[in-house]
Amino acid sequence: MGYATPLIGLSLGALLTALGLALWNRFRQVSGLPPAIRAIKWTAAGLLLATTPLVWIESHPALILHLTLAAAIATPPVGRHHHLPWRDAMTVLPALALAGAGFFLDTGFARFEGHTISPMSLTVAVYGGLAARVLGEALSTLANPAAPVSRLFDALYLLLTLLVGANALAVLWQQGVVWEASPGESGLPGVWLAWSAAWLIPRARARLKAGLIAVAAILLIALALGTG
Amino acid sequence: MSTQIPSAPRRRDPWRTIWQIVTSDGLLVVLLLATAAGLLAAAWLPQLPAADPAAYARWFSETQARFGKATQTMQSLGLFAVARSFGFRALLALLASTLFLRLVERGGRFLSDAERRAWSDLFPLLAHGGGLVLLAGLLVTHLWSWRVEGLIVQSSAQVPIPGTESWVALEENTSKLVHSAGVVAHVEAHGPGVRVSAVDGQGNVLTLQHAAEPALLAELTLALAKGQHFAIPDAQLIAQLTPQAGRPVKAQTPVLVQVYRYPPIQLATETIVEGDAELTVDDVTLRLVSVPYAQVTATFNPGLWPTGIGIVLAVVGLAGSIVRSVHRSRTGEED
């Protein structure tokens, strides 16, 4: 075991602490907790970001790299400081799940086969991390529909559209067809269609939109991990 | 004193209702989700290979091992051939129809309302139009394109594509692919290959006979995707060439050359060669010139340009629509 696994464990502990404090703040409203939660999240994000290159250097399986990278992107509490009921707790959950899965898989609790790391798989892993952030916000909206909505979903949908379009054009140029050339690759266009459906739902239907965004985000995360 | 006569209740126009349903965002959301489910099923479930009995047998045994008794049920539901199923094609047809009707509705609104028209209102039209052109390109691809896999190309000799008048070849002294017009060819894999010739002690050219062909030839060009063998009948020699196992096969993979005398069959010599080589067995000189092969897939797709244009239009339209909606919601929030 190298240095990466203990660092993933430390960041997992930090995220669990942040979740516990967020839940305590939700029910007790203790002053001074929100900045502490924020600081702990940044600490966890820093640990995960430092761990990601270590995972690659120590030749851990590609899936662990993707999980660590996605968790590192999902953790930092950027944006406006909205310490709303449930928001701090919900936004931690996806990063916690990713870091937890990475830790347990890396410590040998499950056997799995890895794939080779490619620029495309790393790009999709980054998108998976962003999707985990979107999932956290969607869960927060499901718990509290009155919460202000960020632009992250729209921004990620735009990036996803550009990625899918560029990939399709590249495959079309190289292989002459978009579909038959790579039947196993229809996952990314399928996920993009789910995001398109979520984007079409008006903001006025907050819970329905948030539910569909959560499903679409989970699909993108699953796709990102599936390439690892 | 005046009394108001209640107006007659307005009769609902069923055609207007149908039009509103067909052009609604709700129907498009449902169609997009159903299509997404089909594409995700095609990505995560093993799909039936194209007409190839050997590949089908291998696919069937792997699928049955994975899904057990559920295999038959899943096969009858069309889950192993999503793209070729009637349901999925009907879904795409419905999606195309919906996009067309929405394009007509929004286009009419854009053209008729000159006072409130803005350039940014073009983006949704582009997105719808691009989606339609893309679907049309996919239809043309499905109806009129062809694809041939596993073509072995060595040197600059033109290899005809079976069943067509097209060909592919490797450019002289480079590994660049050349092909006839309208074809898109790409290399799936490279591997080692040799051009073999043999001469006896007096310098006379000896004829060679490949296992796959009865004709006697002065020179053989072999692609070593797997082991190959040939005979030199005049010298009573058989040569076997095998790419080295245990490493990924590439253009410069070393080749094990084994030469046998017959009858009875006995090993005369064996050596590993990399690149050009000369072997001498008894008074026969075997010359091996390295001629790497490329395994090529050739595609002819008349729908290539419509598909590409549709993708570009759809991406530009969607990107503009997303930016437009963010700008409008931000302006609405500031107001």
Answer whether A219 touches B (CB < 8 Å). yes
Alpha carbons A220 and A217: distance in angstroms, whole number: 5
Residue A182's pLDDT is 55
Selected residue of B166, B318, B326, B327 to mutate for chain A interface (largest A Cβ count, 10 A): B318
Cβ–Cβ gap A154/B322 under 8 Å: yes
Cβ–Cβ gap B184/A165 under 8 Å: no
Nearest Cα of chain A lies from the Cα of B13 at a distance, in angstroms, of 26
Point out which residues pair with B294 in neighbouring strands. B153, B190
Predicted confidence band of residue B335 (pLDDT cuts 50, 70, 90): very low
Answer whether A222 touches B (CB < 8 Å). no
Answer whether B39 touches A (CB < 8 Å). yes
pLDDT in tens, B268-302: 888 988 888 898 988 899 999 988 888 899 999 99
Residue B116's pLDDT is 67
Q: Between A98 and B56, where is the model more confident?
A: A98
Alpha carbons A37 and B211: distance in angstroms, whole number: 74
Nearest Cα of chain A lies from the Cα of B188 at a distance, in angstroms, of 10
Report the candidate in B146, B216, B229 with the shortest Cα–Cα distance to residue B185.
B146
Interface of A with B in 126-165 (CB under 8 A): 151, 154, 157-158, 161-162, 165
Report the candidate in B281, B257, B147 with the shortest Cα–Cα distance to residue B192.
B257
Cβ–Cβ gap A179/B83 under 8 Å: yes
Say yes or no to pLDDT of A107 above 90. no
Alpha carbons B156 and B177: distance in angstroms, whole number: 9
pTM of the model: 0.83
Once rounded to an integer, what is the mean pLDDT over residues B126-137? 95
Q: Across the interface, which of A181, A186, A196 has its CB nearest the CB of B32?
A: A196
Answer whether B57 touches A (CB < 8 Å). no
Three-state DSSP at B164 gives coil
Say yes or no to pLDDT of A109 above 60. no
Neighbours of B283 (CB within 10 A): 10
**Cβ-Cβ contacts under 8 Å, B322 against chain A:** 154, 157-158, 161, 199
Say yes or no to pLDDT of B334 above 50. no
Answer whether A204 touches B (CB < 8 Å). no
Query: ipTM for the complex?
Result: 0.86
B49-67: burial string, b at 16+ Cβ within 10 Å, e else? eeeeeeeeeebbeebeeeb
